[in-house]
C-alpha cells in the first residue's frame, strides 16, 4: 500500500520536532507533523525556556543587593514586568520561527491543526482531512492538572504564568514539585510576596532528603512562606481591596486545610501534569493507555499497535526535554535506520532551578542505602562569594558512595550554578567513576566544586 507519508508526527514539541526533522532531513523520509498550538511545545513556549529567562530576571534583585555590598553604587527601582514580558514574548516568537525553519528546511510538511489517530495507519486533522502514514508518532506531551476543589478555575497554571498582565503582589503557589519551587523562587525574586502550600512533609519529593531540607531552609530565609502539610480546600473571589501590584482589585480568598483563610492576588497551581491522550483516538486504534492516561510503550517507544510509537511526556517515563529528544532520536534510529536503539534512562542528571539551584545525578542517600551499604560524604559551607559580604547562604555538596565497589552512586549539589556543575559530574558518574577517581582529580581553585574532589572522610556509613 502506498501511504501519504512515511511518518506522521502528532505534536510539535521537543520530541516530535526532533524526530520529524531528523527522519525527514537525514533519512529522506516523507514526514508530516501536526501541531495544534505553537511549534516548540511545552519546553520552548511554556516551560524550560520562559522559566529560565524568568529565573535570570529574578536573580538580579539579589545580585544588585550583593553588588552594593561589594562596593557598587546601585539604585534599585523595581522590576518592570510589562517590559520583561514584551521581550520574553518576542524571544518565544523568535524561537518558534527557528523551529518552523528547521522543519521547513528538513522538508517536513507542517499542519497547524489538532490531529488524532483514525486507525493504525491514518491520522485525521481537525479540519477533517485524513492522511495515511506508514508510521505514526505520538508526541503530544502533557498538560498541567488542576486539583478537584471548588473554584479551582480562579487559579492559573504554568501555562498562564508567563502571560500575566501584572506581577501579583501576593501569590500563592500550590504544590511542592520542582516547577512549584522554581516559580516560588522566581516570583519571590521579582518582588511578589510568595506563599507556598504543599500537602507533603517536605518540598521536592523524590529528591535527596538532605538537599530538600537545605533548599527549603534557604527559600524560607529568603522570604518564601512555605506551609507544609497544607492543601487548598476551596477558593472564592474576595470582595475587598488588595489586588494586583499596579491595579488594585479584589483578590482570591483561599481556605486552607489548616482552617485558615488567606487572600491572594493570584493562585498558581503546580500540582502535577497529565499526559495529553484525551480524544486522540488511541484506545479505539488498539493503543494501550496506562492508569494516568499515558501511552504504554516498550523500550523502543513502540505501542501495542506496531505502526504507532510514542515519545516524550505523553509516555510518562522521565518528563524532561533532553529525554524526549533522545527518545525521538532513538525512534528514528530504530525505525528509519534499521538499528533498534533503546533509550538509556539510567543516571539522568537534572537540575532544579530554585535559588539556590539543585543539581543531582544518580541515587539519593535513602535509595542507595536501601540497596547496599554506602558511605556518605557531605559538606556544607559558605562560598567565598557570599561569605565576603556576610551572607548566610550555604552550599551543599554530597557524594553517595558504594562501600563494596567504591562507585559514586549519587551526586547532589545545592549551589549557584549547580545545574552547570552536575552536567559534568554526570559524565563521571555515567562512566562509573569511583570515589578514588574523584579524589585523584586535582581541584580547581578557588571554586565551589573543588569540594567534590576534596571530601576526606564519610560523615556517615549506612
Ligand atoms: P511537549 O513539548 O509538551 O510538546 C507536545 C506538543 O504537542 C505541544 O506543542 C502540544 O500543543 C501538541 N499537541 C498536543 N496534542 C495535540 C494534538 N492532538 N494535535 C496536535 N498537536 C498536539 N524539562 C527540562 O528538561 N528542563 C527544565 O528546566 C524544564 N522546565 C519545565 C518547566 C515547566 C514550567 C514545564 C511545564 C515543563 C518543564 N520541563 C523541563 C519539561 C519539558 O518541558 C517537557 O519534558 C518537554 O517539553 C516534553 O516534550 P514533548 O515533546 O514530550 O512534549
Residue boundaries of the structural domains of the chain:
5-143+274-335, 152-271, 350-461
Q: Is 140 in the pocket of ligand 1 (CB under 6 A)?
A: yes
Dihedral of alpha carbons 177, 282, 160, 155, sign: negative
DSSP string, 60-71: HHHHHHHHHHHT
Band of residue 248 on the pLDDT scale cut at 50, 70, 90: very low
CATH topology of domain 350-461: Enolase-like; domain 1 (3.30.390)
Please check whether the domain covering 5-143+274-335 is classified as CATH 3.40.50.2300: no
From the candidates 222, 227, 417, 445, give the one annotated as an active-site residue. Answer: 445
Compute, in angstroms, the gap from residue 367 CA to the centroid of ligand 1: 28
Higher pLDDT pick, 244 / 121? 121
Using DSSP's 3-state secondary structure scheme, residue 318 falls into: coil
Q: How many CA atoms lie within 13 A of 169 on its CB side?
A: 13
What's the pTM value of the predicted model, to 2 decimals?
Answer: 0.96
Task: Indicate whether 252 pLDDT > 80.
Answer: yes
Over pLDDT 70: what percentage of the chain?
Answer: 98
Start-to-end CA distance of the chain, whole Å, equals 61
Per-residue pLDDT, 241? 46
What would the pLDDT profile of 339-372 be if each residue is shown by its tens digit? 999 999 999 999 999 999 999 999 999 999 999 9
- Looking at domain 152-271, its CATH superfamily turns out to be FAD/NAD(P)-binding domain (3.50.50.60)
Q: How confident is the model at residue 453 (pLDDT cuts 50, 70, 90)?
A: very high
Q: Do domains 152-271 and 350-461 have the same CATH topology?
A: no
For residue 249, count other CB atoms closer than 10 A to its CB. Answer: 12
Host H or E run for residue 90:
helix 81-106
Q: Which residues pair with 31 in a beta bridge?
A: 7
Dihedral angle over CA of 227, 233, 238, 240, nearest 10: -50
Residue of 349, 360, 352 lying closest to 322 (CA atoms) = 349
The C-alpha atoms of residue 79 and residue 30 are separated, in whole angstroms, by: 48
C-beta of residue 276 within 8 angstroms of C-beta of residue 139: no
Mean pLDDT of the chain: 96
Cα distances (Å, whole numbers) of residue 440 to 196, 362, 452, 456? 43, 21, 11, 12
Average pLDDT of the residues in 81-89 = 96
- Is 16 a pocket residue for ligand 1 (Cβ < 6 Å)? yes
**Which band of pLDDT confidence, cut at 50, 70 and 90, is reported for residue 76?**
confident
Tally of CA atoms within 13 A in the half-sphere of 20 that contains its CB: 35
pLDDT in tens, 146-201: 999 989 999 999 999 999 999 999 999 999 999 999 999 999 999 999 999 999 99
Q: Is 115 in the pocket of ligand 1 (CB under 6 A)?
A: yes
Would you say residue 242 has pLDDT above 80? no
pLDDT at 395 over 50: yes
Q: What is the mean pLDDT of residues 210-230?
A: 98
Query: Looking at residue 249, what is its pLDDT?
Result: 63
Amino acid at each position: 500500500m502506498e501511504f501519504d507519508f512515511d511518518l506522521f508526527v502528532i505534536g510539535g514539541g521537543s520530541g516530535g520536532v526532533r524526530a520529524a526533522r531528523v527522519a525527514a532531513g537525514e533519512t529522506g523520509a516523507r514526514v508530516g507533523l501536526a501541531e495544534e498550538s505553537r511549534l516548540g511545545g511545552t519546553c520552548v513556549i511554556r516551560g524550560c525556556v520562559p522559566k529560565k529567562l524568568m529565573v535570570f530576571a529574578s536573580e538580579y534583585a539579589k545580585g544588585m543587593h550583593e553588588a552594593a555590598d561589594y562596593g557598587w553604587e546601585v539604585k534599585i527601582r523595581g522590576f518592570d514586568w510589562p517590559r520583561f514580558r514584551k521581550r520574553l514574548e518576542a524571544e518565544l516568537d523568535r524561537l518558534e520561527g527557528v523551529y518552523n525553519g528547521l522543519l521547513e528546511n528538513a522538508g517536513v510538511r507542517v499542519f497547524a491543526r489538532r490531529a488524532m489517530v483514525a486507525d493504525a495507519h491514518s491520522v485525521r486533522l481537525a479540519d477533517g482531512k485524513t492522511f495515511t502514514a506508514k508510521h505514526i508518532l505520538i508526541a503530544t506531551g502533557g498538560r498541567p492538572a488542576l486539583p478537584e476543589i471548588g473554584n479551582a478555575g480562579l487559579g492559573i497554571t504554568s501555562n498562564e504564568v508567563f502571560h500575566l498582565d501584572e506581577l501579583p503582589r501576593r501569590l500563592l503557589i500550590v504544590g511542592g514539585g520542582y516547577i512549584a519551587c522554581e516559580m516560588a523562587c522566581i516570583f519571590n525574586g521579582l518582588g511578589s510576596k510568595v506563599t507556598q502550600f504543599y500537602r507533603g512533609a517536605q518540598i521536592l519529593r523524590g529528591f535527596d532528603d538532605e538537599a530538600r531540607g537545605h533548599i527549603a531552609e534557604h527559600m524560607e530565609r529568603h522570604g518564601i512562606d512555605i506551609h507544609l502539610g497544607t492543601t487548598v480546600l476551596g477558593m472564592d473571589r474576595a470582595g475587598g481591596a488588595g489586588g494586583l501590584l499596579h491595579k488594585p482589585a479584589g483578590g482570591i480568598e483561599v481556605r486552607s486545610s489548616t482552617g485558615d483563610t488567606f487572600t491572594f492576588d493570584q493562585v498558581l497551581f503546580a500540582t502535577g501534569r497529565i499526559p495529553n491522550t484525551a480524544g486522540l483516538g488511541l484506545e479505539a486504534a488498539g493503543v494501550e493507555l496506562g492508569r494516568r492516561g499515558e501511552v504504554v510503550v516498550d523500550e523502543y517507544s513502540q505501542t501495542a499497535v506496531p505502526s504507532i510509537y510514542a515519545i516524550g511526556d505523553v509516555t510518562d517515563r522521565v518528563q524532561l526535554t533532553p529525554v524526549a529528544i533522545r527518545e525521538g532520536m532513538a525512534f528514528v534510529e530504530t525505525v528509519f535506520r534499521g538499528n533498534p536503539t533503546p533509550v538509556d534512562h539510567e543516571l539522568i542528571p537534572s537540575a532544579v532551578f530554585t535559588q539556590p539551584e539543585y543539581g543531582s545525578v544518580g541515587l539519593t542517600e535513602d535509595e542507595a542505602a536501601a540497596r547496599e551499604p554506602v558511605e556518605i560524604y557531605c559538606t556544607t559551607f559558605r562560598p567565598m562569594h557570599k561569605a565576603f559580604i556576610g551572607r548566610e547562604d550555604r552550599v551543599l555538596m554530597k557524594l553517595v558512595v558504594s562501600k563494596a565497589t567504591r562507585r559514586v552512586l549519587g551526586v547532589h549539589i545545592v549551589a549557584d550554578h549547580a545545574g552547570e556543575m552536575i552536567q559534568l559530574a554526570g559524565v563521571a558518574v555515567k562512566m562509573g567513576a569511583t570515589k578514588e577517581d574523584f579524589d585523584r582529580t586535582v581541584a580547581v581553585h578557588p571554586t565551589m566544586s573543588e569540594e567534590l574532589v576534596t571530601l576526606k572522610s564519610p560523615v556517615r556509613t549506612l
